[in-house]
Structure 1
């Protein structure tokens, strides 16, 4: 291989690596500027939950949050919300913020056309509006993956995309104690913590986190409180 060919091949490989990283890294904000950390949040942090609602585990998480007087943000999957509207209604009634996490949460979501992507997001918005009476503005892409198509759909629909600054890895089957310790080691004011309300031990994990936050003088709040943004479309 000649030097010129090698340089071209290396450049193509580097470009491919950067494109993959830009798509898969939620904090890269290559295609879509994501809210991942609040810079002027004081001593506040946000607990966020993805992939629910789950009829077996979400109620226990909501019970724990209610006992602790904590409000969080739930990015729900439209199909699951449609199947369990009482849980989404409870989230809203108890002061939690509900956001859009696509309708199917399929691995194919980043591969869909613009039309199909917008259809998923709109369908989820309609489901949540029907359940809560409010149209959500906050959106978190499944798996944290973005690309030009997802970015275009989000902008056209006027959604506000949110990522995270601390990924809990609570879906890896580790104990709540180990997951909590990892999160608390990385904790910082203005943090957005990614959790899931469908995991075994979620209630225990949230309890440990709330205790750890408060012992450090940090206050768990919703994303709109952390970033001073609107959670829902304004009613006319």
Structure 2
């Protein structure tokens, strides 16, 4: 019985979910703005982390770079000082759901919308800023996610460079090379600020961007002229 249920769930996910967020199969996602020229957006998921996020913020501050942080509500609730620091230092913030649960894509759109709004309300209470930026967990989209995005008047943000920095068996140097090979005008780079060595990887990426002549922007800046 359990095997049958697992097979049915897997079939549901494979049929109704898209794991390639750039395709925009169910909802239009902000993944690249070629018209921006030689500029990229650095984005960080899954934080804030009490150790790694401050290190990332220190480096961004020292280099004069602003980025976009997609925050998990339950983590933000535990580290309000970090959330306020992110905003105070000029970075964009976005919603990465309340708990980043593996079951999020299988919820109904009403439950998803409630989750997004809960995280949005917390971030506004902490910072005074109300963000409409939303990145679905794992980059998975489906019709329910599309309806939740519409219901909450969110802007779904994807990426055009997936760094694979969550695969810790890969060296940070290998991840940096992967990003460097995929650089292009107006691309969005996916990173994570909760992983060991996040600041070391970021330093290499920033060095590569400088050598290749790329500037940086927040997601809000990169897509400021995009229609909703």
Instruction: Give the structure with higher Rg (CA).
Output: 1
Q: Provide the secondary structure at the position in 1 that maps to 2:36.
A: coil
State the shift of 1:113 in Å: 1.6
**Cα RMSD, aligned residues only:** 1.7
Match of 1:212 in 2: 208
Structure 2 length as normaliser, TM-score? 0.91
Kindly provide the CA deviation profile for residues 113-145 of structure 1, in whole angstroms up to 9, marking residues without a partner as x: 222111110100011001110111110000000
Distance 2:13 2:203 in 1: 39
Shift in CA distance, 87/109, structure 1 to aligned 2, threshold 3 Å: same
Q: Provide the secondary structure at the position in 2 that maps to 1:55.
A: coil
Distance 2:61 2:127 in 1: 19
Question: 2:67·2:92 contact (CA, 8 Å) conserved in 1?
Answer: yes
Number of residue pairs aligned between Structure 1 and Structure 2: 215
Unpaired runs of 5+ residues, structure 2, are 1-10
Unpaired runs of 5+ residues, structure 1, are 1-14, 231-236
Question: 1:175·1:201 contact (CA, 8 Å) conserved in 2?
Answer: no
Distance 1:84 1:17 in 2: 33
Distance 2:22 2:109 in 1: 23
Distance 2:110 2:182 in 1: 39
Q: Provide the secondary structure at the position in 1 that maps to 2:28.
A: coil
Matched, 1:197 2:193: yes
Superposition misfits of 4+ residues, deviation over 3 angstroms: 15-20
Distance 1:87 1:204 in 2: 20
Match of 2:3 in 1: none
Shift in CA distance, 101/16, structure 1 to aligned 2, threshold 3 Å: closer
Match of 1:125 in 2: 120
Distance 1:128 1:17 in 2: 30
State the shift of 1:175 in Å: 1.7
Shift in CA distance, 153/63, structure 1 to aligned 2, threshold 3 Å: same
